[in-house]
Amino acid sequence: MPRTTALHPKHLSRDTQRLVKLAQSLALSGSRLEDVYWEHLLGTHLSKLLQGKKNQAVENALDYLLTNNINAYEILIEQAESNSESTSLSVQGQDYDVLLFAAPAVVWTRYQLPREYSLRPHIAKIAAQLQDHILAPDAKLALLGELVCFDQMPQTFHDAWAWTHRLGLAALEQKSEPCEIRVPVDNEDMLADARFVVGAIAVRKGGPLFRWQDDTTANTAATRTQCLENWTQACASILTPLFTGCTVEYLLPDAYYVNSREADKHIRPLALKAAVTWLQTVAHLPGDKLRATIAACGEKTLEEYRVGFSTQHSNEVIYGSIWPILSKEESVADSINAEQADIPDEIAALLHELGVVDVRRLSGLYGTDVCDDCGAPYFPNPQGEMLHPELPEEIDLDPVHLH
């Protein structure tokens, strides 16, 4: 999420000031040895804050650096992610490296996504497939008992650290508290989403985590491509039956944060495709009867593009789709101009490919307003108004249920 709060150094807490100083020092480092020195201090301070549930100190430092030192911002967010998704644990005198990982399943449908995804009946099979195709031979594993969505994933660096620590202990067969999993928001109208197998991998200090790292055998290490092919085949028989009526794409299991972003990237075009397909098939509105309006939205910086759909003979918004912004390059305020014209170009090209003939783009930055009553986001119409989406009465509002 873009951070936009403007803070003055004297208003920062002592913990936040130290984070800022260490990140700036690392950004100015001129050698690998100096890098190691600053990384150690920064990692130690971050670990202290995460264990102390002082997540706000980290967020405030990121807010300040985003505005004042983008290089240091990149360094701090990378270090914060690394220190929350990985840790070191010692059991019976043996040191272990632990990594929190995610294995995304990206799904879309023209009907309705399933509401429940219990992994527990399949957890032993999934664990076996991960051991066979993804993990290094000596790696230990623990998994969550649910396929979780973005809303249920850790929302702070401290939450991610807690999952890493607890699942890491479980992988090493040590007592640990269960991970806190939020109740997901009920999004009945959502047609594209991601579900995640989440777990922790524990290996002896310095050992390989993944099969593609392991070159200790006579054969060379398996490639990522080979591992993904094997994993996809395994999931097709175990997980795909959970997604009746959906198209599913499995991503290669990898570190928690990188795979959260990869899933987001894959969802963006699929969500748009699902919206248009639903309008064309369920709402019976072919592409030549639709108009799509693209608007850049955010408070002070670009946070997302919203695509509002209306019919050729009305300016009322009947449906909408959100294309989130996922990087600092995309979120910089002036990226609304020619520098980032490729994003609305990509959206427009995909809409044309899906059969929508009339595609319009609005200039400027619009707000991220939502309905006070139901929380639904507003979407643009061709006249530049942000409106609540409302399907015409003659169109059946209920998606087809296959579950």
**Tokens 């392991």 found at:** 214
Residue 250 lies in a domain: yes
Which residue from 215, 198, 33, 230 is spatially nearest to 129, judged by alpha carbons?
230
Q: How distant, in Å, are the alpha carbons of 26, 220, 378, 400 from that of 390?
A: 51, 57, 10, 18
User: Both 178 and 198 in a single domain?
Assistant: yes
Residues 185 and 296 both lie in one domain: no
- Do 362 and 244 share a structural domain? no
Q: What residue numbers bound the domain in which 99 lies?
A: 92-261
For residue 402, is it within any domain?
no
Q: What is the pLDDT of residue 342?
A: 79
Per-residue confidence (pLDDT) for residue 111, from 0 to 100: 73
Residue that is last in its domain, among 85, 113, 134: 85
Whether 401 maps to a domain, the answer reads no
Residue whose entry in the numeric block shows the structure tokens 């009553």: 373
182 lies in some domain: yes
Q: Note down pLDDT in tens along the chain; length 403 residues.
A: 333 444 556 678 999 999 999 999 999 999 999 999 999 999 999 999 999 999 999 999 999 998 899 999 999 999 999 999 999 999 999 999 999 999 999 988 877 777 667 788 899 999 999 999 999 999 999 999 889 988 899 999 999 999 999 999 999 999 989 998 888 776 666 788 899 999 999 999 999 999 999 776 555 668 999 999 999 999 999 998 888 888 899 999 999 999 999 999 999 999 899 889 888 887 888 888 999 999 999 887 888 999 999 998 899 999 999 998 887 666 654 444 444 457 889 999 999 999 999 999 999 999 999 988 888 899 999 999 999 998 877 665 454 433 3
Kindly state whether residues 132 and 249 are assigned to the same domain.
Answer: yes
User: Are 368 and 334 members of one domain?
Assistant: yes
Same domain? For 115 and 208 the reply is: yes
For residue 335, tell me if it sits in a domain: yes
The reported pLDDT for the residue numbered 16 is: 95
pLDDT at residue 242, as a whole number: 85
In a domain, 3, yes or no: no
Q: Tell me if 23 is assigned to some domain.
A: yes
Residues 381 and 252 in one domain: no
The structure tokens listed for 51 are: 């264990």
- Report the pLDDT value the prediction gives residue 55, as an integer from 0 to 100: 92
Please tell me the total count of domains within the chain: 3
Cα–Cα–Cα angle for 153, 78, 142, rounded to 5 degrees: 40
Looking at the domain assignment, is residue 180 inside a domain?
yes
